[in-house]
Amino acid sequence: MPRYVIERNVPGAGRLSEKDLFSFAQKSCTMLDALVGQVQWVESFVTENKVYCIYQSPNKAMLMQHASTSGLPANRIEEISVVINPVTAEKQ
């Protein structure tokens, strides 16, 4: 299944409390349950003013539906083409 990066503009994200992060995660999980296994949240990275989320989904439209229904912003959604890491530099 394709993987995507979702960029969410969330002012002050890096200062969110544990309770706020729990609520953020609950919103996503509640909507994921409604999509009956078609979309999977892999992980998210919280920065000062943004949250970057990795999801698996059959298509971008389902992620846009997830965002609008859960009330979470999805300012940019990009399909991941290739994943590289330090091991990539060792292959030749």
Where residue 92 falls among pLDDT bands split at 50, 70, 90? low
For 39-84, write each residue's pLDDT tens digit.
999 999 999 999 999 999 999 999 999 999 888 999 999 999 999 9
**Who wins on pLDDT, 77 or 32?**
77
Q: What is the pTM of this model?
A: 0.90
CA atoms within 13 A on the CB side of 41: 18
Where residue 33 falls among pLDDT bands split at 50, 70, 90? confident
Tokens representing residue 11 in the block: 């002012």
Say what the pLDDT of residue 84 is. Answer: 93
Interacting residues of 58 by C-beta distance below 8 A, sequence separation 6+:
1, 2, 38, 39
